[in-house]
Amino acid sequence: MTALLEGKTALVTGSVQGIGLAIARELAGEGARIVLHGLATPEQVAHAEAVLHAAGAPEVRFFDADLRDVAAIEAMMDEIARWQALDILVNNAGIQRTVPLAEATPEIWDAVLSVNLSAAFHCMRLALPGMAERGYGRVVNIASVHGLVASTNKAPYVASKYGLVGLSRVAALEYAGAGSRESGGVTVNCICPGWTETAIIEPQVVARAAEMGGDRQAGVASLLAEKQPSRRLSDPSEIGALALWLCAPVAHNVTGTAIPVDGGWTAQ
């Protein structure tokens, strides 16, 4: 039986750990070549490569492009194109700074916007034309529940994620007519996770646990009680499974969406 993504090549930014690695593993499991990306130690890279090969990736290549640097992004995308045509782009890399609006420095604003939004834009502008020419392409942008609703002390992050949802909808409209049902078409979608067990939420967990006398479990429960009605953290593998489905041929008419995985947060 032919693997769903056999012969396809996928770039997943920020994929040496967490949600990014979980997505890359799901794509690898269906036969995709994986472009691994991140700022990581040699040991972290070796571990991620081993995970992806074990999952079924026929090839894995690693890039450490600094996503704050447009020239570095362009060089990475050019090298990927010279290796293989890029069929799937998952913009997952992201950073967060939790700080009141009045204390958000220009440096914090620029860093968050450049990684979370501008980098996705540059990768998309370089990848989408080729996808359209070939009649198949998938862009999956990992936004956030904060691309749909706001929270205090997260102005740069919320702005970047709202921007990513809007950018994705524009791209979806511009490329909606590319390809066909038979070729798979070109789609652009966002996944908007709520509380998910990743390193990016760890500072908030630690801070809340400190308020609970150092009890981590109580800190997690307190965070979830405020926003996420299910009171359950998502596992990164669950985001990976949704990303894989969006890349399937059956999803050719699912485009321009922002799909929350948030335990009911945005239903309130």
The 8-class DSSP code of residue 248 comes to: S
Rounded CA-CA distance 96/153 in Å is 11
**Which of 120, 157, 146, 140 is CA-nearest to residue 257?**
140
Q: HSE, CB side, 13 Å, CA atoms: give it for residue 5.
A: 30
Rounded CA-CA distance 186/87 in Å is 9
Annotated catalytic residue: which of 136, 157, 162, 175? 157
Judging by beta carbons within 10 Å of its beta carbon (0-12, 13-18, 19+), is residue 245 exposed, middle or buried?
middle
Q: Is 157 a catalytic residue?
A: yes
In one-letter notation, the amino acid at residue 124 is M
**Which of 164, 162, 150 is CA-nearest to residue 93?**
164
Query: Cβ(234)–Cβ(196) under 8 Å?
Result: yes
Cα→Cα distances 261→62, 75, 82, 193, Å: 28, 33, 35, 5
Cα→Cα distances 30→9, 22, 36, 200, Å: 11, 13, 16, 27
Crossing angle of helices 202-211 and 216-227, rounded to 10°: 110
Residues carrying an active site annotation: 157
